[in-house]
Amino acid sequence: MSTTLSARFSAVRQHTLKLAAPLSAEDQCVQSMPDASPTKWHLAHTSWFFENVVLLPYLPGYQVFDDSFAYLFNSYYEALGPRHPRPQRGLLTRPALSQVLAFREHVNAAMQQLLSKASHLPTEASALIELGLNHEQQHQELLLTDALHLLSCNPLLPAYDATFHAHPAHQDPLQWLSVHEGLQTVGRSMDDAAFAFDNESPSHQRYVQGFQIANRLVNCGEYLAFIQDGGYDNADLWLSEGRALVVQHGWQCPVYWLAPHDPRAPSDDWQVFGLKGVQALDPQAPVCHVSFYEACAFAQWAGARLPTEFEWEVAARLSGMHDLHGQAWQWTRSAYEPYPGFVPATGTVREYNGKFMVGQQVLRGSSLATPVQHSRDTYRNFFPPSARWQFTGLRLAKDF
């Protein structure tokens, strides 16, 4: 198993670099908004995690790469000391990207040294390494998300990677699948040996009223019909705060859509900016980069609603469900709250999940930007309802 962990460590760490490869040092340095982080910061912070959470406690004699990095690359761990303010991550032109890459090498080497003695590793060290790898996979997705946002702020709308491959989505007409009323078990059992985040547990029972759920995601063609029917201007469809955002920011379509004749990429038709650059709108592709408010308004317009996160998890067990993973995170009608009996992880990583459990909505599934081995049906992603820069779409549900 230690060989496995060592190999897995290498694979995950290399994959991060592969994702950064299409981006120049300039691209990797700039922060496009306070919510987004520079690629270089993601590269450094994921290494900071291993240095501070694994190497310093568990590798005797480990030498930190640079004393200042503890401060520069802490994200939000109050227990690990003060930290550079989040909105100023983009001001760190030094350390240079080359130094951050050297930091990664340094950490990798020390980690391989530690992993070579894996049979002697305490259980909690292994658990923290596994957590670190899952943490890095989360940042792999954020790296793409944040890079796309940065590129979207450039009037040239440059492609991240014109050859970026995404699996096609399910394209058949929508079907409604049914789940009947009754007690259901949801959440991750704490006895399950495989990795899961603390927020997925404990496994517990929910009483779920009967419902219907769509077998695929809402696609761009359907969403365009909503736009063309005046959906953004129909106050009746919107939650109050969503309506306020529509008015304040002039929202008229998903954040990366280009209306016909947009001066940045003139065309007679709708287009969508994404990792491959500007592309013609594909009516069959899942709609992406919508906020929770837009998802709710669309559902209202369609005579449906969003599923709760428990409905989603129960429905994921049905046959005939498509695109649970790998297309777009799916907003649910569930606020992000602790499960009954939730106990945060202990030690330095106790701040990992629990302290964010208010004011956010749960998303289920995973997206085209999620690393392949990082998806689970019990996975609980969460973002504020106004967030649009994540790879977020929706799946419809309705009552009987």
Interacting residue ranges for a second copy, rule: CB under 8 A: 24-30, 32, 40, 68, 71-72, 76, 78-79, 84, 88, 90-97, 150-151, 153-156, 158, 183, 204-207, 209, 235-236, 238-243, 292-293, 296, 333-335, 337-338, 340-341, 350, 355-359, 361, 385, 399
Minimum CB distance to a second copy, residue 263 (Å):
9
Strand 392-393 relative to strand 329-335, pairing: parallel
Residue number with CB closer to a second copy (206 or 216) = 206
**What whole-number distance in Å separates Cα of residue 187 and Cα of residue 341?**
11
Minimum Å gap between C-beta 301 and a second copy is 14
Report the length, in residues, of the chain: 400
Nearer to a second copy, 76 or 176 (CB): 76
CA 152 – CA 372 distance, rounded (Å): 25
Question: Which is closer to a second copy, CB of 40 or CB of 395?
Answer: 40
Taking the complex as a whole, the smallest distance from the CB of residue 391 to a second copy amounts, in Å, to 21
φ/ψ of 377, rounded to 5, equals -70, -20
Query: ω before 340 within 30° of 0 (cis)?
Result: no
Shortest Å, Cβ 346 to a second copy: 12
Phi, psi of 177 (to 5 degrees): -105, 150
Rounded Cα gap, residues 63 and 354, in angstroms: 31
From the CB of 217, what's the least distance to a second copy, in Å?
Answer: 21
Nearer to a second copy, 274 or 371 (CB): 274
- Going from the C-alpha of 81 to that of each of 273, 332, 348, the distances in angstroms are 39, 35, 11
CB of 350 to a second copy, least distance (A): 8
Q: How far is CA 310 from CA 22, 187, 205, 333, 380, in A?
A: 38, 9, 10, 10, 11
Count the alpha carbons within 13 Å of 364 in the hemisphere toward its beta carbon.
24
Q: In the complex with a second copy, which residue's Cβ is closer, 3 or 24?
A: 24
Residue by residue, DSSP assigns 302-358 as TT-BPPPHHHHHHHTTSTT---SSSB-EEEEEEE--PPTT-----GGGGGSSGGG-S
CB contact at 8 A, 327 and 217: yes
Q: Which residue from 37, 145, 43, 152 is spatially nearest to 368, judged by alpha carbons?
A: 145
Beta carbon nearer to a second copy, 121 or 299: 299
Query: Of 4 and 185, which CB lies nearer to a second copy in the complex structure?
Result: 185
- Name which of 226 and 292 has its Cβ closer to a second copy: 292
DSSP for 28-67, written as a single string: HH--SSTTS--HHHHHHHHHHHIIIIIIHHHSTTPPPS-T
Q: Please calculate the CA angle 159-154-266 and round it to the nearest 5 degrees.
A: 75
Query: The tokens 């910061």 sit on which residue?
Result: 41
Nearest distance in Å: CB 132, a second copy:
21
Minimum Å distance from CB 169 to a second copy?
27
Comparing C-alpha atoms, which of 117, 134, 121, 118 is closest to residue 194?
Answer: 134
* Closer Cβ to a second copy, 168 or 182, answer by number: 182
146 Cβ neighbours under 8 A, 6+ residues apart = 32, 36, 37, 38, 39, 42, 389
Angle at 127 between CA 126 and CA 128, to 5 degrees: 90
Shortest spacing between CB 61 and a second copy, in angstroms: 26
> Smallest distance from the beta carbon of 358 to a second copy, in angstroms?
5
By C-beta, is 131 or 397 nearer to a second copy? 397
Question: Minimal distance in Å, beta carbon 208 to a second copy?
Answer: 8
Cβ distance to a second copy smaller for residue 13 or 149: 149
